Amino acid sequence: MLLALLIWVFTVVIVWMFAGDYWTFPEAINEHGRQYDQHFATTLYITGAIFFVSQIALGWTIFKYRDNGGRATYSHGNNKLEVLWTSAAAVLFIGAVLLSTRIWAGVHLTPPQGEVVEIEAVAKQFLFNFRYAGADGKFGKLDIKQINDAAGNPFGIDEKDPAGKDDVVNSNIRVPKGKPVRLILRSRDVIHNFFVRELRVKQDMVPGMVIPLHFQADKVGKYDVACSELCGLGHHQMRAELEVMEPADFEKWLQEEDAKLKAQ
């Protein structure tokens, strides 16, 4: 009795928690993010229905079929029902995953269209760094022996390579609004992760691997980049800022940075 009641109360409270607006995603700032939210909602409706029906049914059986001194129904099951709910579950589950494949493909399988802004990211315990190719549009070669955080060279840009002279390095990432960005992710020591809630993307940065990630933000603002793979004792402090700028502001910023480098 009490148990049935409890299960029903929990079911209603949980449905309220998820259906309500109290705890929810931050507003998405890209097309993928909006598709993500849509598919999340679809999945939430499907699973919410399964959740609600099965918990309510569980509570109902507990309430309804209490021991009253009689005898239970003698039944070993029902093959038709068995086949029915097996196939229903299979169709629902596989259907959900096939629907979500589109979202996955949008991030990982479809190359970005048009003019792409290329940015390199390197993570170390417990900092992110980002690099822009600068005026020449070419990244300088890297040489790990020349890595020097104190001198502002966390990537180890090779001094001998002229293409690297104008590479802009920054500990926050700035991107122009409305332009596709290709982010090349690396790590220097352990596995880190690039996660921006508003972009709805998360990707590990694995030492020894070069992993591309692309996105296109369409809302100006500042957003948190949070490391989401345990990387050591400072994991919780590993933060960078993603700033989505008007394209003109972005160009201006890059040129200023370039000028600073030339002045040195």
Restricting to residues 7-36, which ones interact with other proteins according to CB under 8 A? 7, 10, 13-14, 17-18, 22-26, 36
d(Cα 59, Cα 1) in Å, to the nearest integer?
Answer: 8
Q: How far is the CB of 163 from other proteins (least distance, A)?
A: 20
Q: How far is the CB of 95 from other proteins (least distance, A)?
A: 9
Using CB under 8 A as the binding rule, whether residue 219 contacts other proteins is answered as no
Name the nearest CA neighbour of 235 among 189, 192, 203, 185. 192
Of 107-115, 157-165, 174-182, 246-254, the window that binds other proteins (rule: CB under 8 A) is 107-115
Q: How far is the CB of 111 from other proteins (least distance, A)?
A: 12
Report the largest interatomic distance among the alpha carbons of the chain, rounded to a whole angstrom. 93
- Please state, in angstroms and as integers, the Cα–Cα distance from residue 74 to each residue in 63, 77, 78, 140, following that order: 20, 9, 12, 77
Query: Which 138-197 positions form the footprint of other proteins (CB under 8 A)?
Result: 144-145, 147-149, 156, 188-191, 193, 195, 197
Q: Which is nearer to other proteins, 24 or 263 (CB)?
A: 24
Using the rule CB under 8 A, which residue among 27, 31, 82, 246 binds other proteins? Answer: 82
DSSP one-letter string for 138-190: -PPPB-GGG-BTTTTBTT-B-TT-GGGTT-EEESSEEEETTS-EEEEEEESSS
Q: Are strands 221-226 and 117-124 parallel, antiparallel or unpaired?
A: unpaired
Query: Which 34-53 positions form the footprint of other proteins (CB under 8 A)?
Result: 36, 39-40, 43, 46-47, 50-51
The sign one gets for the Cα dihedral 13, 18, 20, 23 is positive
Rg (CA), the chain: 26
Of 131-139, 168-176, 200-208, 245-253, the window that binds other proteins (rule: CB under 8 A) is 200-208
Using the rule CB under 8 A, which residue among 138, 182, 219, 239 binds other proteins? Answer: 239
Using the rule CB under 8 A, which residue among 61, 159, 247, 259 binds other proteins? Answer: 61
Residues contacting other proteins: total by CB under 8 A: 102
Residue pair 234/125 in contact by the 8 Å Cβ criterion? yes
Using the rule CB under 8 A, which residue among 113, 115, 233, 263 binds other proteins? Answer: 233
Using CB under 8 A as the binding rule, whether residue 111 contacts other proteins is answered as no
